């Protein structure tokens, strides 16, 4: 059975920089989706022509397959609700990276995929908004 997966930026970075998490990025058993939020974060960090070419090739593949996904208007509203919930629990919600993570979580739930990440911030997000999550430890 194929698992539907949305990969966080940190997994792509580990793969691009050192071949880590290859089973998640290129291995069998997954139908992968690329978030526009992740593509934005990767683009921001692509400082060399080689990195930009690799990112362009990655994004074009997802787009051609119809699996480049962006948060919907509903996802943005859900993200606002999640941020409000986190703030009410005393968390500083002004960090851009947290806002991006909340958008990823909202998108993952709305399209019915599991979010894979190494980022433990998603555990806090799950206390406010449940979504399918796999924390990658290796």
Kindly report, residue by residue over 41-75, the tens digit of the pLDDT. Answer: 999 999 889 889 989 999 999 999 999 999 999 99
What is the crossing angle of helices 73-88 and 96-111, to 10°? 130
Note the pTM of the prediction, 2 decimals: 0.94
pLDDT at residue 67 in the model: 97
pLDDT at residue 19 in the model: 86
Placement of tokens 């071949």 in the chain: 19
Q: Which domains does the chain have, with CATH numbers?
A: 3-135 (3.40.50.1010)
Q: What does the alpha-carbon distance between residue 119 and residue 12 come to, in Å, rounded to a whole number?
A: 13
Nearest to 103 by CA among 25, 23, 39, 20: 39
| Backbone dihedral angles phi then psi of residue 56, each to the nearest 5 degrees | -60, -45
Would you place residue 97 in the very low, low, confident or very high pLDDT band (cuts 50, 70, 90)?
A: very high
Share of the chain above pLDDT 70, in %: 100
Share of the chain above pLDDT 90, in %: 84
6-15, 16-25, 95-104: lowest mean pLDDT where? 16-25
pLDDT at residue 105 in the model: 97
Q: What does the alpha-carbon distance between residue 79 and residue 2 come to, in Å, rounded to a whole number?
A: 28
15-19, 110-114, 115-119, 126-130: lowest mean pLDDT where? 15-19
pLDDT at residue 86 in the model: 96
């Amino acid at each position: 059975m194929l698992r539907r997966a949305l990969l966080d930026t940190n997994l792509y970075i580990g793969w691009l920089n050192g071949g880590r998490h290859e089973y998640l990025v290129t291995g069998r058993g997954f139908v992968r989706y690329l978030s526009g939020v992740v593509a934005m974060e990767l683009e921001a960090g692509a400082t060399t022509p080689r990195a930009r070419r690799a990112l362009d090739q990655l994004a074009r593949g997802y787009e051609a397959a119809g699996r480049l996904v962006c948060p919907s208007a509903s996802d943005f509203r859900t993200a606002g609700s999640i941020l409000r919930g986190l703030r009410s629990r005393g968390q500083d919600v002004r960090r851009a990276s947290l806002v991006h993570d909340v958008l990823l979580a909202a998108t993952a739930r709305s399209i019915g995929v599991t979010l894979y990440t190494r980022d433990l911030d998603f555990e806090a997000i799950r206390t406010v908004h449940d979504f399918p999550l796999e924390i990658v430890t290796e």
